[in-house]
């Protein structure tokens, strides 16, 4: 019990020392630092209400209050681990996308270098032979034909290079962490913890859209989601595909998927700020 209380005091003191003070509107007794949906999953509202009642009765340092603070600390720590778990899988999928895109770029560069060498060798050899034949009497027409063939060969190989440029890379990630936000079924390894699910779908303050609604709207504006056959961005089925689907993505689609995962990380990590403010709220009841 003493250890839990000491840990609570140390965590709260660290937050206050770092300058991360809670807004006035979120001071204890006025408004909960968490949305009702997140607070319900975390189950801290009854604990905060009881702590407030004990403080009003002058029993803020009683044995019951200490036990409640210990329970609060344990719940917040468990919630923090849930956030870290989701962030870890999001970052892992983003790393897979980055590596797949790099492998595809290396493959395309090697293929382009090979075709350039073949083009140079073929056109150069035929052109040299054609020029030599033109110097020989009676072979002028054949030399001209060889030079024309050299130009045609160069043109054909350049067309092949343009056609094969880009290519597709098989997806190797075991996760599809974007499925939850894109209203698709996540696989067994990509389901969010209940706390994170409540956070991304909870309505924003003042009637603002939820995290899921806001972030998907931004992706549409940035043309990262392909809305039609000729639209820019990546199709939803490719954004939520994992390695079991055997799907293949272009370099641009991999880049869009990676950027979306980074956007998701930036939004989910803000949940930590709300958990920190809960600790500050608990400190105010002592």
Residue where the block lists tokens 């509202």: 45
| pLDDT, averaged across the chain | 75
How many C-beta neighbours within 10 Å does residue 206 have? 5
Of 164, 199, 245, nearest in space to 79 by CA: 199
Mean pLDDT of 76-86: 92
Percent of the chain scoring above 70 in pLDDT: 66
pLDDT at 148: 52
Per-residue pLDDT at 45 exceeds 70: yes
pLDDT at 24: 25
CA distances from 149 to 59, 117, 119, 158, 228 (A): 97, 17, 12, 14, 42
Mean pLDDT of 104-131: 63
Confidence of residue 262 (pLDDT cuts 50, 70, 90): very high
pLDDT at 181: 92
pLDDT at 191: 94
pLDDT at 200: 93
Question: Range with the lowest mean pLDDT among 7-11, 174-178, 247-251, 255-259?
Answer: 7-11
Per-residue pLDDT at 95 exceeds 60: yes
What digits encode the pLDDT tens for the residues 25-37?
A: 233 333 455 788 8
Per-residue pLDDT at 202 exceeds 80: yes
Dist CA 178 CA 265 (whole Å): 11
pLDDT at 215: 94
pLDDT at 22: 33
* DSSP 3-state of 170: strand
pTM above 0.75, yes or no: no
Dist CA 236 CA 248 (whole Å): 13
User: 19: burial class by Cβ within 10 Å (0-12, 13-18, 19+)?
Assistant: exposed
pLDDT at 261: 96
Per-residue pLDDT at 269 exceeds 90: yes
Confidence of residue 207 (pLDDT cuts 50, 70, 90): confident
pLDDT at 239: 92
Mean pLDDT of 184-189: 93
What digits encode the pLDDT tens for the residues 123-170?
A: 555 455 555 455 455 545 554 554 555 555 555 545 544 454 468 899
pLDDT at 33: 59
């Amino acid at each position: 019990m003493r250890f839990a209380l000491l840990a609570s005091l140390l965590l709260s003191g660290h937050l206050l020392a770092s300058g991360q003070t809670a807004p006035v509107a979120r001071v204890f007794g006025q408004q909960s630092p968490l949305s009702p949906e997140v607070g319900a999953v975390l189950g801290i509202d009854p604990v905060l209400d009881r702590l407030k009642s004990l403080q009003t009765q002058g029993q803020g340092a009683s044995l019951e209050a200490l036990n409640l603070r210990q329970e609060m600390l344990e719940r917040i720590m468990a919630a923090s681990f849930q956030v870290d778990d989701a962030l870890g899988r999001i970052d892992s999928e983003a790393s897979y996308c980055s590596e797949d895109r790099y492998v595809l770029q290396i493959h395309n560069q090697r293929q382009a270098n090979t075709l350039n060498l073949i083009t140079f060798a073929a056109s150069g050899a035929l052109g040299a032979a054609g020029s030599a034949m033109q110097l020989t009497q009676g072979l002028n027409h054949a030399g001209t034909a060889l030079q024309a063939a050299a130009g045609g060969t160069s043109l054909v190989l350049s067309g092949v290079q343009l056609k094969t440029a880009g290519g597709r890379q098989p997806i190797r990630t075991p996760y599809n962490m974007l499925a939850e936000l894109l209203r698709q079924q996540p696989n067994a390894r990509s389901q969010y913890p209940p706390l994170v699910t409540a956070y991304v779908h909870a309505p924003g303050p003042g009637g603002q859209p939820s995290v899921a609604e806001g972030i998907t709207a931004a992706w549409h504006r940035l043309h990262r989601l392909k809305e039609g056959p000729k639209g820019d961005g990546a199709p939803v089925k490719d954004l939520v595909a994992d390695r079991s689907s055997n799907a293949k993505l272009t370099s641009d689609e991999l880049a869009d998927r990676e950027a979306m995962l980074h956007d998701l990380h930036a939004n989910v990590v803000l949940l930590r700020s709300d958990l920190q403010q809960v600790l500050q709220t608990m400190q105010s009841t002592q």
